Amino acid sequence: MDYKLLGKTGIKVSELCLGTMTFGTDWNFGSDKQESQRVFDAFCNAGGNFFDTANIYTTGTSEKYSR
């Protein structure tokens, strides 16, 4: 995994970002908790540390799963 500096913060983030909008099935589609965890773990194991999540994604479920 390659990393970039986040502005002038000194924080290095992965060039790839994992979007979590479909973590959870609240919208009648997406990944259940077990599958979401597998995706999350695979991304972290590959060196990823940059995630896109929001409290409106699957009514907040994506943030609960992404802890």
Each residue of 4-56: pLDDT tens digit?
Answer: 999 999 999 999 999 999 999 999 999 999 999 999 999 999 999 999 988 88
Sign of the Cα torsion 13, 67, 56, 43 reads: positive
CA angle 3, 5, 43 (to 5 degrees): 35
Q: How far apart are CA 18 and CA 63, in angstroms?
A: 13
Q: How confident is the model at residue 60 (pLDDT cuts 50, 70, 90)?
A: confident
Provide the whole-model pTM.
0.85
pLDDT of res. 47: 98
Residue predicted with more confidence, 67 or 11: 11
pLDDT of res. 31: 94
The DSSP symbol for 36 reads: H
- Positions annotated as catalytic residues are 57
- Collapsing DSSP states into helix, strand and coil, what is residue 67? coil
Q: How far apart are CA 15 and CA 6, in angstroms?
A: 10
